[in-house]
Structure 1
Amino acid sequence: MNDEQILKLARAAGLAQEWTNAFGQPMRVSPEALRRILERLGFPCNSEDDCRDSHARLAALDGGNGFPPLLTFVVGHPLHLPAAPRLAGQTWRIEFEEGGHVDGRLPGDTSLGVELPAVDRCGYHRLTIGDTATTLAIAPPRCFGIADALNHNGGQPRLWGLGVQLYSLRRTGDGGIGDFTGLAEFARSAAGHGASALAISPVHAMFSADVHRFSPYGPSSRLFLNALHIDPAAVLGRDAMAAELAGLGADEATRYATLEKLELIDWPQAAQLRLALLRRLYARMAASGRNSGFDEFCRKGGDALRDHARFEALHAWQLANGESGYWMEWPEGLRDPYGAAVEAFASQHEAEVDFHLFLQWQAACGLDSAQKAARDAGMPIGLITDLAVGADNGGSQAWSRQAEIINGLSVGAPPDVLNTRGQSWGLGAFSPHAMKARGFGAYIEMLRAIFTHAGGARIDHVLGLNRLWL
């Protein structure tokens, strides 16, 4: 293929060929680099047939003969859809995400576009017309903002807040790592001094089987939470926690107290001990029968929660058996989260999968309690969580969302004065084309997760919503 054909496809795919370096010098990405990036994005250009097919698939993302996978509208306003002559006269249905639906029929002429009645509720609803379906994102006229928080705070002229690293909120009984109970206590104290918000470091799910990986900005999944911030005493009470800590043996109880007194966090030691303690608390709870709150949490978490728990169990099993923890190197059957091999593994290791579901339940309860404590203490915003720029390519989110992640590429930063060779962060990025093709479902899912137990969110490297350096 000649360079011009590669450049044409790159432009169609949204890849920039030109950029300016830290010294103000114009730079150009080589056609070969663009070709390799295009291939990783799923748009090969190794032959003329490849290029034609890639261009056709890019064009289809804009709707082709139907509608784009996601259309955005404002609540209470009529829905103006693109022209769709082939759908003229067909019946339509809007299914609301919280249940219920509304039906209608298109007019006989839709060549100039279609207008459907206004939808009176915000959310992501499903529109079906014949064999065509799309997601309707019905948004409020604007986001809830600082001015709204001011109004909710009695018109106070200014708001202020604090920023903290959650793991550094140390207290008596924390076993060496700041936890959600410490966060709740700090939130109450900050609110008592007039703070309106409390920004925290990322609390994304890590790799529980690899306690040496603890950077909050290199998570396994941005959909779930870091189990190391669970307060063991909050699970079944202080007495149960003390009994299970004693059950680990006198040496472990002593180590727990020693870790608590350290000035710096010994992540591997503290994490290993906390997980061992949580495992015993899980066993105690399981012995007393199923908990209805736990069951409801699992039901609401659905397939995404199930997949994360299965990954955690698989990852631990692989490492325990001397195998690679990187899922791309697992046996083929285990690389498919929806395949028979993973289903069989989950069935054979049901208790282990259940343990990781339990960890997510307790982490969610802890973070939710901290947000409730902040709001009850008078904060109009409460917690502001932190959304990391990406997740580890070897983690749960990349394994369970393979179709949405760019395989083989990492997010990073261009060369600058301090890093003359540039930076590769080892983090996966969502493919913009795959996201568009699937109605941005995976990104919506992630945003909902980050806001579930918070009043606001900080998006790390927010420029990444506009462009990414790969």
Structure 2
Amino acid sequence: MTMSQQHEESPERLARPLVRLAQSMGVATSYVGMSQDFHEIPDDVLIAVLAALNVDASTPQAIEQALERVNNEAAMRLVEPTVLHIVGSETHVPIHVGITDAPKATITLENGDAYTSDLVIEPLPDVKVHEVNGTFFSTAQLVLPDDLPIGYHTLHIESGDRTADATLISAPQRIPLLNPLKNGSLWGWMAQLYSIRSQESWGVGDFADLRTLLMNSKRYTNADFMLINPVHAGEPVSPLTPSPYLPVSRRFINFTYIHPEDIPEYYGLDDAAKQSIKDAHAKMETYNTDPKLIDRDAMWLEKEPALRTIFNAGLKPDRQKAFDAYKAQAGEDLEAYATWCLCYAKWGKPENDPNNWIKKYDKNSPEVQQLREDNADLLEFYRWLEWISVEQMHAAQQAARQAGMKIGIMSDMAVGVHPAGSEVWWNPERFANGATVGAPPDMFNQQGQNWSQPPLNPVALKESGYKAYREMVRGMFDCAGAVRIDHILGLFRLWWIPEGQPASNGTYVYYDHNTMLAILAIEANRVGGLIVGEDLGVVPSYVQQSLSEHAILGCAVEWFEQMDGVFIPPKKWRPYALASVDNHDMPPAAGYLEYEHVRVREELGLLGEDSRAFEASAKSEHRAMLQMLVDNGYLDVDVMNNEEGRWQEIVEALYRALKSSPCKLQAVSFVDAVGERRTQNQPGTDNEYPNWRIPLADYDGKNVALEDLFDSDLLQRITKIMNS
């Protein structure tokens, strides 16, 4: 990849057919890096990324043919497959019609009613006529009125003997702020759900624990929300993937979080069946108090048969009716996930092997259909697990709201899905084939990052009216009052890495962020919810402006808010943000203050020859943070000069500073409030470090049970700060 001091491509390069083709498909042909270094994308990368978009650019002739096809399709297409309208303003929609046609337009609203107001189609002056195969086309514009209601409608266009339907997305300009946020802020907790276990847990925190956490958070601390780790769907059998950010499907929920004893049918079991479940639960008691490691596989070994016992008991008519309604509403998406689970359970783990079922069969394969027929009961079990998951998470959210929480659950949306997961297997056309998502080189990762996740195909998104994305967002809001979107920059552009290339040899592919943000606005508006976008790192100014225009909150992390080695006092932060002291990719406050991040990276050999420099940098950062706390009156200077054994005072000062910020949402991490020192996830590692498997423990490494959590002295002091 070429790098130079210039910041734009030359006219000669821009005139090249390959460059013009790439740009017409939303593929960046250059970019400016984190250090303002300018890069031009090599031809082989452009060709490979275009191939992932199903565009052949392998030869000069193929490039010319592709350019001609793209231009002709644009000229001949009556209307784009997805049309965006902002409620309260007129929208002018280009339509491509024959020069002698008299086009007409109608709208069918989301509820099936016809939109009765007249729709005007205006000719455009000075429009060039485009000839395709002897037929002449010009451009007119349809005027969508400002009173079109919010929703996903169908726009129907007729022109001569041609007709076309488009998905018409009509969205509010902004997500309405909750009343308490208009002139103030709300605070809440951040929790890794799996790590917080009660006496009733099965070795891993579950949805019953979430319900208790939410209610007790309101009762004992007056918090109004809880940000939890992603709970997207995972595998049906062991080994279970620890990372919540590499899900099988973002559309569904991880059913390993089900609490069996909370299922209504549990209480109707006979004594023998109920005792078998109690015996299974008893085997997990020692796991509940282990402060060293979460063992999901041991949990699922006992919980899955218990759930089968409850499922086998059957449903009463009213419950069966509710289950049937859920299956009808979830539709083909549920069949995709349940079938994938069945294949996994019967044929084994998906592998990158041509003889493995994930490569050998698709959803239409006779072998898959036969497997479904032969195992109808197990297939229904996986559908049932999803229904129960939704019920229990929804019940937790309802309990939070009934307890008085203004928001309740804030769910976390991962960037993408596993390449061998159900979404990719069932609907491969939705994803780019031959590319993965990652990040370009920067000062933190000089080789770039490859996250091994296939990117959504922006062309397929538009052609389908963004249906898959709409359903995913709607599903998340079914069980939450807010959604945090990891790496929200991905709605604007994603770094695509061609298969077989290092992470540095990629390029950005752009998405229609206006439409995707509009979908977020619709779904949040429908439930009175909020959207938070994780926008940490280097984010283009237009991204922050667009998020602000939609009233989507960004993120501010106290340890990251610095400039040239000087920390920015929280009172000077932007209001539209979710503020926190730290996050899951760094040690909790107590550990960070004791250089846990330095120790772990040194032990794992992640620093190489830079270990001394990294340690010096960490100490300098530490000192600068304390200086900011002292300068702004959050910490006594005596503590800074004599830190030994006074970490709790510094943690409290960090939260006094956080409380002073104007940010609309402020979050306290449970790990900070109990003195935990270990990080949940060490970036740059896989099994070298127990990522996403650290149970909640205090400063001395002792297990903190849910029953004792709110008795913590430090937690109570931080709570007092946040409620001041």
TM-score, length of structure 1 as denominator length? 0.87
Alignment match, 2:223:
195
Cross-structure match for 1:94: 107
1:157 to 184, 187, 195: 184
Quick one: distance in 2 between partners of 1:256 and 1:301? 33
Match of residue 331, structure 2, among 298, 302, 313: 302
CA distance in 1, matches of 2:354, 2:399: 41
Q: Which runs of 5+ in 2 are unaligned?
A: 1-12, 125-139, 497-724
CA contact (8 A) 1:149 1:381 kept: no
Residue deviations 1:174-201 (CA, integer Å, cap 9, x gap): 1111111111111111222221211111
1:260 pairs with one of 288, 292, 295: 288
CA contact (8 A) 1:318 1:325 kept: no
Any unmatched runs of 5+ in structure 1? none
Q: Choose which of 175, 191, 204 in structure 2 pairs with 1:143.
A: 175
Q: What's the CA shift for 1:317?
A: 1.5
Provide the residue aligned with 2:49 in structure 1. Answer: 37
Q: Distance in 2 between matches of 1:276 and 1:245?
A: 12
Cα gap change, 1:60 to 1:445, in 2 (>3 Å): farther
* CA positional deviation for 1:158: 2.5
Count residues in correspondence.
Answer: 459
Q: Could you tell me which of 407, 416, 429 is aligned with 1:403?
A: 429
Structure 1's 307 and 212: CA in aligned 2 closer, same or farther, altered over 3 A?
A: closer
What's the CA shift string for 1:74-118, capped at 9, x where partnerless? 336555332444495455432222232236887797554233555
Paired residue for 2:156, among 128, 144, 149?
128
Kindly state the Cα deviation for residue 206 of structure 1 after the two structures are TM-superposed.
0.6
| Corresponding residue of 1:415 | 441
Describe how 1:234-383 pairs up with structure 2 within 5 A: 234-236=262-264, 239=267, 244=273, 246-247=275-276, 252-263=280-291, 264-285=293-314, 291-319=320-348, 324-325=350-351, 330=356, 335-383=361-409
Give the conservation status (yes or no) of the 8 Å contact 1:404–1:431.
yes
8 Å CA contact retained: 2:29, 2:41? yes
Greater mean alpha carbon deviation, residues 69-78 or residues 457-466: 69-78
The residue number in structure 1 matching 2:714 is none
> Is the contact made by 1:88 and 1:106 (CA closer than 8 Å) also made in structure 2?
no
User: 1:177–1:228: 8 Å Cα contact kept in structure 2?
Assistant: no
Alpha-carbon contact 1:221-1:397 (below 8 Å) kept: yes
Counterpart-to-counterpart distance in 2, 1:246 and 1:326: 42
Q: In structure 2, how many angstroms separate the alpha carbons of the residues matched to 1:70 and 1:56?
A: 22
CA apart distance, 1:235: 1.2
Match of 1:181 among 195, 208, 223: 208
Q: CA deviation at 1:318?
A: 1.4
Distance in 1, matches of 2:466 and 2:472, equals: 10
Cα separation, 1, equivalents of 2:119 and 2:354: 47
For residue 308 of structure 1, report the CA deviation from its aligned partner. Answer: 1.2
Cα distance change, pair 100–420 in 1 and its aligned pair in 2 (3 A): same
SS of the residue corresponding to residue 447 of structure 2 reads coil
> In 2, distance between residues paired with 1:165 and 1:328?
37
- Indicate which of 195, 208, 214 corresponds to 2:242: 214
Q: Are the structure 2 counterparts of residues 38 and 259 from structure 1 closer, same or farther at C-alpha, using a change threshold of 3 Å?
A: same
Q: 1:211: Cα distance to partner?
A: 2.7
**Contact 1:181–1:370 (8 Å) recurs in 2:** yes
Match of 1:468 in 2: 494
Residue type at the aligned position of 1:102 = Y
- Does the 8 Å contact 1:219/1:392 carry over to 2? yes
Moved more, 445-454 or 22-31: 22-31
- Cα distance change on mapping 1:9 and 1:237 into 2, 3 Å: same
What letter matches 1:232 in structure 2?
P
Are the aligned partners of 1:88 and 1:109 in contact in 2 as well (CA < 8 Å)? no
After alignment, is 163-172 or 215-224 more displaced?
Answer: 163-172
- 1:75 corresponds in structure 2 to 87
Q: CA deviation at 1:23?
A: 5.4
User: What is the one-letter code of the residue matched to 1:405?
Assistant: F
Q: Please give the secondary structure, in 2, of the residue aligned with 1:285.
A: coil
By how many angstroms is 1:19 displaced? 3.6
RMSD (Å) for aligned C-alpha atoms = 3.0
Note if contact 1:333-1:339 (Cα within 8 Å) is conserved in structure 2.
Answer: no
**Is it true that 1:51 corresponds to 2:63 in the alignment?**
yes
* Pair 1:372–1:43, CA change in 2 (3 A): same
Percentage identity across paired residues of the two chains: 28
The equivalent residue for 2:21 is 9
Please give the residue correspondences for 1:381-460 in structure 2 after superposition, counting only pairs within 5 Å.
Answer: 381-460=407-486
CA distance in 2 between counterparts of 1:463 and 1:60 reads 32
Query: Which secondary structure state, in structure 2, belongs to the residue aligned with residue 170 of structure 1?
Result: coil
Q: Is the 8 A contact 1:328 1:335 kept in 2?
A: no
Q: Which letter does structure 2 place at the counterpart of 1:398?
A: V
Aligned-partner Cα distance in 2 for 1:351–1:72: 43
Stretch moving more, 163-172 or 82-91: 82-91
Distance 1:62 1:379, change over 3 A: farther
TM-score, structure 2 as length reference: 0.58
Return the alpha-carbon distance in structure 2 between the equivalents of residues 456 and 277 of structure 1: 32
Distance 2:211 2:433 in 1: 39
Call closer, same or farther: CA 1:278–1:326 in 2, change over 3 Å.
farther
Counterpart contact for 1:221–1:395, Cα < 8 Å: yes
Larger radius of gyration: 2
Q: Are 2:46 and 1:18 equivalent residues in the alignment?
A: no
Report how far residue 434 of structure 1 moved: 2.1
Q: Residues 90 and 106 of structure 1 are in contact (CA less than 8 Å); yes or no, is this contact kept in structure 2?
A: no
Partners of 1:375 and 1:381 within 8 A in 2: yes
| Secondary structure of 2:246's aligned partner | coil
How big is each residue's C-alpha offset from its partner over 1:420-439, in whole Å with a ceiling of 9 and x where there is no partner? 32221111211122222322
- Secondary structure of the residue aligned to 1:198 is strand
Cα distance in structure 1, aligned partners of 2:360 and 2:477: 31
Change (3 A) 1:235 1:410: same
Quick one: which amino acid aligns to residue 212 of structure 2?
Answer: E
Q: Which shifted more, 239-248 or 416-425?
A: 239-248
In structure 1, C-alpha distance between the alignment counterparts of 2:121 and 2:384, rounded to whole Å: 54
Structure 1 CA distance for aligned equivalents of residues 440 and 273 of structure 2: 50
- Match for 2:110: what amino acid? E
Counterpart CA distance in 1 for 2:214 and 2:59 is 59
What displacement does 1:410 show? 1.5
